[in-house]
Structure 1
């Protein structure tokens, strides 16, 4: 039986979002309906509202979410009603060339729910990243649900659904940060500070946080940064080199995603070091580097998409670390808000006042 819920909808490019009545159908084969407990406000939601992802309006926004499975469709075995789950936007297929080669985090055929959610007049909605969790309930593919320990705070756990996982994974999975490594993180918003926390978890000996905002640098220090550099008042490359014996860091993570910051990351790494790009560039950005420098410095230049995570492997592990007190996910929750507060949350995000505003239901 179709259910009516409240959800946050972006109707057109740049228009303020509105809380609308959303119709959620019963789950079909391979699908699940999830009662959302909490959902973080991510930059990607703003990109959707601004038409920066595509023009398939109207969008049902929200994707960094945790909740409880309410019902499942035919053939679903991985989750059951009552399970506490984190939603993910990369439900792996298990059959593509990446999955069959044992690299499911690169899955080339991820899938979402087959049925649409709609407005009350029947207009189909495009759920953000295939999730649409700024709503009291949402319909997803069952593979987008990862069961975790229900003792976790929904507001904190849901952040693994996108930004925090992207940063943690950039350090742990993509950068392969190891014990004793030196790490520099450029850009200390939610993703960058999660990379700082990931480097600390991995046992890095020196973690250098770089940003132009002292408030973010202070947060980075609380999450494990051993040194901070304000790029507005210091040369970031020289500062990282000076803090690493003149060599540069073993791993440098660009959590901004601009040509300028990528160039800083490239030159702030040690010879044969690793650069990880996890900040998302815009389509018009171009990168220019001397090819001889690329050749002569060796090492690895990597991009990290969703932290190269495998939700079924990484989410339960990280929630266990959170419950053990070894990963402070609560530190990323700057405030909790209601569905009617999304526009103000976007404004606070733009002013750099929050790591994450989180909608709680």
Structure 2
């Protein structure tokens, strides 16, 4: 009965997510009062450039009462080199952007791909894109509705896809395809005026931003990428809602369009894959098959809703999946690892007319092979899915976590200090993190 109630809740969530995007968070009633923060002020150095909208902002810092004038951030300089901690000028938000005091940031494979040089990205940069934090300041000329919805003092969560809210795709409610996000942030490491918000304290060297550059004490986030986090949810565990859960929800709700009774296989059950398992269970999937090469991860997968577990080192994953499903294959297979071999396994595991959903990133330029005749004759659908839709989906995920439908505590397997983030990425690379690690920053 609990699963049926969960499924009904999610079905309503999916239905509403296909309507036009709501511009602001619906949780304004849960916001903290800003009365205790009325004394926040800005003080600019004499060397600072004009703050007029459209003017390039240099590396001059500012400070707010009872807060530092500068901040620390973890910087990626070049592939396979350690992250270093550097002092930055305090970031400056522009119109419809918000300065966040970062509380926690998840450790994600996407960052690891950048650190290893597998995904080209502008450097030096600050990685980290799965955050929770506190609203410190609104950019000059920010829309009054945004200020009302996200007042100073609000605790918030940020989605790694930060929609501009006005491009062709955003206007259609497809935040996950935001043109500005891909053109500026992913291609250039900037926000949507073509400028980074990060400058080193000494010398003013610009440092680029992977999403909002979350592995820093403060970060600037476009307002449409934020939702209010109620005080009933913890800062640390809730950080994973912005990427691991957000990515999984986008795959299951929009790409796969999971229905009650579907048979589902998830290949790769790390942070994102294990989130897929939880969402599949909540959607009412009948068979949920977890595939991995580590028994520890597979054992934990059963806590997240897996009805079957396959160790791909010990058994042929495709053969076993078909055996479990009476020879047909699953309705939906999800690839959450990002490898050519698992891409092929994913396609081969689905039944005729089924969906193979790819969400794992891999080495830039990598190719996956598929039997074209099988694809055509058996009507196999191969679908890519990068993430969810911030304005529609993020508030829903917060509700699901608040009601206990999504278990955040079980999903976060490690918490670490800001200073230990380098070791966390090393362990992630070695496969030593079961689930998700989260860095506690403040």
TM surpasses 0.5: yes
SS at match of 2:432: coil
1:93 corresponds, among 141, 151, 164, to 164
Deviation at 1:115, TM superposition (A): 4.9
Tell me whether 1:327 sits opposite 2:406 in the alignment. Answer: yes
Q: Cα 1:115–1:212, aligned 2, differ >3 Å: closer, same or farther? A: closer
Residues 92, 197 of structure 2: 8 Å contact kept: no
Q: Partners of 1:184 and 1:196 in 2: how far apart?
A: 9
Q: Cα 1:29–1:94, aligned 2, differ >3 Å: closer, same or farther? A: closer
Tell me whether 1:63 sits opposite 2:134 in the alignment. Answer: no
Q: Cα 1:159–1:295, aligned 2, differ >3 Å: closer, same or farther? A: same
Deviation at 1:237, TM superposition (A): 0.7
Q: Partners of 2:152 and 2:329 in 1: how far apart?
A: 50
Q: Which residue of 2 aligns with 1:83?
A: 154
Q: Partners of 1:351 and 1:105 in 2: how far apart?
A: 30
Q: Cα 1:103–1:26, aligned 2, differ >3 Å: closer, same or farther? A: closer
For structure 2, the 5+ residue unaligned runs are 1-42, 44-61, 63-68, 185-190
Residues 159, 246 of structure 2: 8 Å contact kept: no
Q: Partners of 1:123 and 1:102 in 2: how far apart?
A: 36
Q: Partners of 2:178 and 2:127 in 1: how far apart?
A: 24
Tell me whether 1:225 sits opposite 2:306 in the alignment. Answer: yes
In the superposition, the TM-score normalised over structure 1's length comes to: 0.94
In the superposition, the TM-score normalised over structure 2's length comes to: 0.77
For structure 1, the 5+ residue unaligned runs are none
Q: Partners of 1:275 and 1:55 in 2: how far apart?
A: 28
Please give the residue correspondences for 1:147-296 in structure 2 after superposition, counting only pairs within 5 Å.
147-296=228-377
- Could you tell which deviates more after superposition, 233-242 or 343-352? 343-352
Q: Cα 1:339–1:101, aligned 2, differ >3 Å: closer, same or farther? A: closer
Deviation at 1:102, TM superposition (A): 4.1
Q: Which residue of 1 aligns with 2:178?
A: 107
Q: Which residue of 2 aligns with 1:358?
A: 438
- In our comparison, the structure showing a higher alpha carbon Rg is 2
Residues 148, 315 of structure 1: 8 Å contact kept: no
Render the CA deviation track for 1:281-339: whole Å, top value 9, x for unaligned: 32242223222111011042100111xx1122212211222121111012121121111
Q: Cα 1:215–1:201, aligned 2, differ >3 Å: closer, same or farther? A: same
Q: Cα 1:28–1:103, aligned 2, differ >3 Å: closer, same or farther? A: closer
Q: Which residue of 1 aligns with 2:385?
A: 304
Q: Cα 1:142–1:304, aligned 2, differ >3 Å: closer, same or farther? A: same
Tell me whether 1:342 sits opposite 2:421 in the alignment. Answer: yes
Residues 80, 116 of structure 2: 8 Å contact kept: yes
2:206 corresponds, among 119, 124, 130, to 124
SS at match of 1:316: helix
- Could you tell which deviates more after superposition, 218-227 or 47-56? 47-56
SS at match of 2:302: helix
Q: Partners of 1:75 and 1:101 in 2: how far apart?
A: 23
1:39 corresponds, among 90, 99, 105, to 105
